[in-house]
Amino acid sequence: MNKIIELKDVWKIYKIDSFEFAALRGINLDIVKGEFIAIMGSSGSGKSTLLNSVGALDVPSKGRIILDGHDIALLPESDLAQIRGQRIGFIFQAFNLVPSLSAIENVMLPMTFQGILRKERIQRAEKLLDAVGLKEKLYSKPNTLSGGQRQRVAIARSLSNNPEVILADEPTGNLDSKTGGDILNLLINLQKTENKTLIIVTHDEKIAKRADRIAVLSDGQVVKIIKNKK
């Protein structure tokens, strides 16, 4: 199996004055290229911290996170920014779209930081928004879009630099069940047809049951790995 991400005894310790809190406590987890893994656990179990660590938004206090052979804990911020921009796509529950930008401008934004020419940025953004069913909403601002449409823009934006890994933090949490189901189907289709590695933090067992594996967290530790039958 081709492992794309390896977490080896990963700790994340936050220090506030003289108080220390371990959000992650010795996580060991291998993620295979092209798989869909769901991360579950109660509030405060470390799910979002784990996702941020995998996505190079947070550097571990101890341990190693290997992404395609590179230990991200040892890389300078400039290299981490390149990894985040080129290799990883983030989808947030709150969408995190820029309100003053249109849908197509939001999708183009990550490509701007990678030095992609404007003509190519426009063409790629149009193609991505068409793929998520928003061909007619290219120039709409986020405040004129429904929650499901804004999440689709966020998905298109996460794919703008053709990342290998898609990280999603409760991507359907703010959506109704039908729209949430459509979004999940879209993400799973991308995983299957384009061999993307999909990592979703969720409280929803219906979502988790569609994953290849479920990693269950408690008190900053992986307490169970469940392999779903397909």
Q: What is the pLDDT of residues 129-157, one digit of tens each?
A: 998 889 999 999 999 999 889 999 999 99
In this predicted structure, what is the pLDDT of residue 181?
A: 87
- Asked if residue 207 belongs to a domain, the reply is yes
10 lies in a domain? no
Domain count, the chain: 1
- CB contact at 8 A, 107 and 156: yes
Asked, for residue 14, whether it belongs to a domain, the answer is: no
Does 230 have pLDDT greater than 80? Answer: no
Q: Which domain holds residue 197?
A: 35-56+76-227
Asked if the structure places residue 67 within a domain, the reply is no
At 176 the pLDDT is 84
Is 20 within a domain? Answer: no
DSSP helix/strand/coil, 203: coil
Q: What is the pLDDT of residue 119?
A: 95
Instruction: Give the pLDDT confidence score for residue 27 in this predicted structure.
Output: 96
Q: pLDDT, tens digit, for every residue of 63-115?
A: 999 987 889 888 888 888 888 888 899 998 788 899 999 999 999 999 988 88
The reported pLDDT for the residue numbered 1 is 66
* Residue 21 falls inside a structural domain: no
Sorted by sequence, the CB contacts under 8 Å of residue 198 that are 6+ apart come out as 35, 36, 37, 166, 168, 187, 188, 190, 191
Give me the CATH number covering residue 139.
3.40.50.300
Q: Report yes or no on 4 lying in a domain.
A: no
pLDDT category of residue 16 using cuts at 50, 70 and 90: confident
Q: Are 129 and 104 in contact (CB under 8 A)?
A: yes
Residue 6 lies in a domain: no
